[in-house]
């Protein structure tokens, strides 16, 4: 009887191991997801570009850059910016990230709906949030808070344009290191 009692668990163990090995090969044969990510150097360049543009416009702001998961990657609070700008910059960025359009465009959309309009917790209907895209894919968002209401076509878009220029120069520097002579 003792011999039979030790054989059964061994056979059961071998059967379980065989099933696990056969199933794991199926899982391993599936392809991994390929996603673009926002590197911290680029997120920092975006935030600094927006901060510099707002300072040039005479505004003291807070800037939040979110990654592709909607989580804060970089946060900068300028001297003399109000305490409310900390939360608002993140909420503006989160709105842009969640709805994949500027927070100002989303605010206009919400205003066009009959009350009560549905909103996602953590979003806000104020201009100042812009999604960060690579092609058609949103890989993050930037939110700027503390600046006076910009004239149409100026302000936040210029802040983001300045950040995009910084992204471009950062990308070019990296490409030059990878492919010397090509970008001379």
| pLDDT greater at residue 14 or residue 146 | 146
Q: How far apart are CA 161 and CA 50, in angstroms?
A: 8
Give 45-87 pLDDT, tens digit per residue: 999 988 988 888 888 999 999 999 999 999 999 999 999 999 9
Q: How far apart are CA 126 and CA 19, in angstroms?
A: 55
How far is residue 32 CA from its own chain's centroid? 21
Which of 24-33, 83-92, 95-104, 148-157 is predicted with the least confidence, judged by mean pLDDT?
148-157
Find where tokens 């065989």 sit: 18
| pLDDT greater at residue 33 or residue 81 | 81
Alpha carbon dihedral 95, 99, 163, 61, in 10-degree steps, equals: -10
Integer CA distances (angstroms), 120 to 5, 56, 117, 123, in order = 59, 33, 10, 6
Q: 184 is written with which tokens?
A: 């001379």
Q: 42 is written with which tokens?
A: 């680029």
pLDDT band of residue 184 (cuts 50, 70, 90) is very low
Statement: residue 176 has pLDDT above 70: no
Sign of the torsion angle spanned by Cα atoms 170, 43, 76, 152: positive
pLDDT band of residue 171 (cuts 50, 70, 90) is very low
pLDDT of residue 32: 78
Give 139-151 pLDDT, tens digit per residue: 999 999 987 654 4
Reading phi first (left if > 0) and then psi (alpha if -120 to 50, else beta), residue 7 is in alpha
Q: 36 is written with which tokens?
A: 């673009």
């Amino acid at each position: 009887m003792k011999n039979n009692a030790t054989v059964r668990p061994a056979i059961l163990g071998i059967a379980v191991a065989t099933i696990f090995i056969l199933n794991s090969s199926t899982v391993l044969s599936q392809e991994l997801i390929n996603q673009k990510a926002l590197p911290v150097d680029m997120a920092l360049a975006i935030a600094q570009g927006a901060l510099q543009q707002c300072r040039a416009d005479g505004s003291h702001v807070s800037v939040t850059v979110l990654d592709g998961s909607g989580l804060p990657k970089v946060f900068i609070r300028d001297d003399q910016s109000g305490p409310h700008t900390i939360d608002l910059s993140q909420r503006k960025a989160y709105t842009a990230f969640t709805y994949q359009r500027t927070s100002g465009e989303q605010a206009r959309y919400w205003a066009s709906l009959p009350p009560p309009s549905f909103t996602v917790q953590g979003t806000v209907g104020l201009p100042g949030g812009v999604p960060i895209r690579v092609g058609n894919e949103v890989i993050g968002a930037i939110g700027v808070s503390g600046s006076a209401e910009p004239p149409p076509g100026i302000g936040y878009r210029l802040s983001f344009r300045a950040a995009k220029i910084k992204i471009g120069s950062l990308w070019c520097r990296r490409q030059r290191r990878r492919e010397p002579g090509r970008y001379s």
